Amino acid sequence: MTAAVTSPVSVPILMYHNIDIAPRNLPRLRSLYVSPASFARQMWLLRRMGYIGLSMTAAMPYLRGEKSARVAVITLDDGYADNLQAALPVLQRHGFSATCYVVSGSIGHYNSWDAERLGVQKPLMTVSELQAWQQGGMEVGAHTRTHPRLTRCDDAQLVDEIGGSKRELEDRLGFPITQFCYPYGDVDERTALATQQAGFAAATTTRRGRAQAGSDPWRLPRIQVARHHVLPQFAMKTFSKYEDRRA
């Protein structure tokens, strides 16, 4: 019988959005884009350094402290079509898995929550594309129904956005949804409790730092990977205590 790991283990949970070339005329938040070439180099480096890229569910034994290994969790927010087109082949080439958090009310549409502010409508995966993502060895997680700031929702809205997204995704996709991500990283005690009560196994935030084994599974920190991060910066953020010191 294998004993549970007792020493603290740091697990980097990487946060991506678009895997695509940023439009030249995009006035804001070009950092939400990581080019396909940069993403491929980052995944190569993970593998070269002896890391296994995992989805949230596959990483849960490491996040709970039951197993110990060089693992990095790969997450992509919002469900953009470019995740399937550009990220999936790279992940499969390295034998990695990843979690894509989907806004259930916008499947097959675009980023209605910030399109006007960003000045670009970015296509989101359709039902068949999300099923292809899952069949390709990846995971789909929930990212609410409409991408609101959850701490501003009343109790009824909170239940609808969190639990409703889980039910809607499961009904449309035909497989269980057990992972959740707070839009904008917006979470408080009430929101975290609602997420737990909705039946999710874990939830991620935008709080900086690497996750520590045994920490609160409904308030997990992540490491943002942005367009401007060159490979040495990616390595520093992922493999060292750099992000932990900025938590």
In contact, 195 and 45? CB cutoff 8 Å: no
For residue 31, the model assigns a pLDDT of 87
Whether the CA torsion 150, 106, 169, 57 is positive or negative: it is: negative
Q: Return the H-helix or E-strand segment holding 142.
A: strand 139-142
Q: How many domains does the chain have?
A: 1
Separation CA 14–CA 70 (nearest Å):
14
Please check whether residue 2 lies inside any domain of the structure.
no
Helices (H), 6-51: 36-48
For residue 6, the model assigns a pLDDT of 36
Please check whether residue 5 lies inside any domain of the structure.
no
What is the pTM (predicted TM-score) of this model? 0.95
For residue 27, the model assigns a pLDDT of 65
Please check whether residue 119 lies inside any domain of the structure.
yes
Please check whether residue 3 lies inside any domain of the structure.
no
Please check whether residue 198 lies inside any domain of the structure.
yes
Q: How confident is the prediction along the chain (247 residues), in pLDDT tens digits per residue?
A: 333 333 458 999 999 999 999 988 776 678 899 999 999 999 999 999 999 999 999 999 999 999 999 999 999 999 999 999 999 999 999 999 999 999 999 999 999 999 998 889 999 999 999 999 999 999 999 999 999 999 999 999 999 999 999 999 999 999 999 999 999 999 999 999 999 999 999 999 999 999 998 889 999 999 999 999 999 999 999 999 999 998 8
Please check whether residue 166 lies inside any domain of the structure.
yes
How does 22-58 read in b/e, with b if 16+ C-beta sit within 10 Å? beeeeeebeebbbebebbbbbbebbeeeebbbbbbbb
Domain that holds residue 66: 10-245
CATH code (residue 183):
3.20.20.370
Please check whether residue 4 lies inside any domain of the structure.
no
For residue 25, the model assigns a pLDDT of 79
For residue 8, the model assigns a pLDDT of 54
For residue 5, the model assigns a pLDDT of 35
For residue 24, the model assigns a pLDDT of 83
Please check whether residue 125 lies inside any domain of the structure.
yes
